[in-house]
A = this chain, B = another copy of it.
């Protein structure tokens, strides 16, 4: 079927999705959970085929690891679905209830976004997380996963869509696209798709944004900073910097640039360098850093680079103000952390750094839906409109204003015959 026709059908079903009760949505999630358990052998067999192909094609170690869908991953996604069932309903929440005048009542009520297109990388468990978050929030999802995981994704899709349909969820709830050319068709469907969530490389996200009029949620870059203030505890700083840089080097919330207060540099950097050397992290330093420790000179563009690798840029700054300006100018508004014992410096950093996550005395790696207690996430948003940071259920709903009257017309208010009597209920 043509993609444009297909998305029109999904759009029609999205209105049915919007009216499913929380009981129906939770029951469908429970059915999906059961069906995944029952389909374990089918899933593992499909994943083994993907894995064998990937090995044959010489795909590298970390990517192979992400591709694996085994009993451990299955248990993880099932426990994720079970906790999702336990979360409160994100729909039908009354955000505002106001009487405008006698008999004229305004409600602001949460409702699904509609049809969400998600393009995700090789990790097949992401398909389950995204689909179940969309179901709980009453959205339809159109998914395109990485081609390396094609067999696993198809097996997951078949189990989930069948279980959901048997539980009374409209067919249009979940659609799987399988070719790259489908993506280009999808990008044109701005009348039927409400939101795109691309999860992939910076270049890929930029491509999506440049080729579609559909709103995009996500992040193109993850240039995260740690700023070590004059008053920072050195041991704590070293521990947090190491974790932020090497706990998982390819993540978007990984540290790329370390900023150090000039008075903290001599105490911190030599010890830190020893630890970074052990972890095989290459240091690119500004001229002042080079005067304290041996390192590669940092080029200006290094401070605008997301390495996703065992490389760290280091810059010594005069103080808090320079650090904040550097982060707001060179950062990507993702997640930035201050290590400090000075409450005033912490307050200013948390207030003035213009990022979705601003941290005090902890690792940038905490920027994650699971670690925020959201259960799971469909992505992390560095945009400022609507959802910011890890996007869980709350980020998958919007609201509508419902106005209930008894025949009121505006002319009576415009003429002064009647006047508004606002009263929050």
A113 within 8 A of partner (CB): yes
Chain A 169-208 interface mask (CB, 8 Å, partner B; 1/0)? 0000000000000000000000000110000000000000
A356 to B401, CA, bound (A): 6
User: With A215-B385, A240-B409, A409-B239 in contact, do A15 and B352 touch (Cβ < 8 Å)?
Assistant: yes
A217 within 8 A of partner (CB): yes
**Nearest CB of B to A59, in Å:** 23
Q: Which of B360, B384, B410 contacts A398 (CB 8 A)?
A: B384
**Nearest CB of B to A88, in Å:** 11
User: With A98-B373, A113-B384, A352-B19 in contact, do A243 and B409 touch (Cβ < 8 Å)?
Assistant: yes
**Nearest CB of B to A215, in Å:** 5
Chain A 396-416 interface mask (CB, 8 Å, partner B; 1/0)? 001111111111111101100
Residues of B within 8 A of A348 (CB): 19
A351 within 8 A of partner (CB): yes
Binds B, one of A62-70, A159-167, A269-277, A362-370: A362-370
A25 within 8 A of partner (CB): no
Residues of B within 8 A of A356 (CB): 400-401
A359 within 8 A of partner (CB): yes
Evaluate contact between A359 and B403: CB separation under 8 angstroms. Answer: yes
Residues of B within 8 A of A360 (CB): 402-405
A311 within 8 A of partner (CB): no
Residues of B within 8 A of A387 (CB): 385
User: With A100-B373, A351-B18, A365-B409 in contact, do A358 and B215 touch (Cβ < 8 Å)?
Assistant: no
A293 within 8 A of partner (CB): no
Q: Which of B15, B362, B367, B383 contacts A408 (CB 8 A)?
A: B362
**Residue on B nearest A242 in the bound complex, by CB:** B409
A3 within 8 A of partner (CB): no
A106 to B389, CA, bound (A): 12
Evaluate contact between A405 and B362: CB separation under 8 angstroms. Answer: yes
A366 to B195, CA, bound (A): 28
**Nearest CB of B to A109, in Å:** 9
A405 to B114, CA, bound (A): 37
A233 within 8 A of partner (CB): yes
**Residue on B nearest A385 in the bound complex, by CB:** B386
A357 within 8 A of partner (CB): yes
A387 to B385, CA, bound (A): 8
Can you list 11 A-B pairs with a CB-CB distance of less than 8 A?
A: A15-B352, A18-B354, A19-B348, A19-B351, A113-B385, A358-B403, A359-B404, A362-B403, A362-B408, A366-B405, A366-B408
- Kindly list 10 other residue pairs between chains A and B, CB separation below 8 angstroms, not including A100-B366, A359-B405, A385-B387: A15-B352, A19-B348, A195-B384, A195-B385, A247-B409, A356-B400, A356-B401, A359-B403, A362-B409, A365-B409
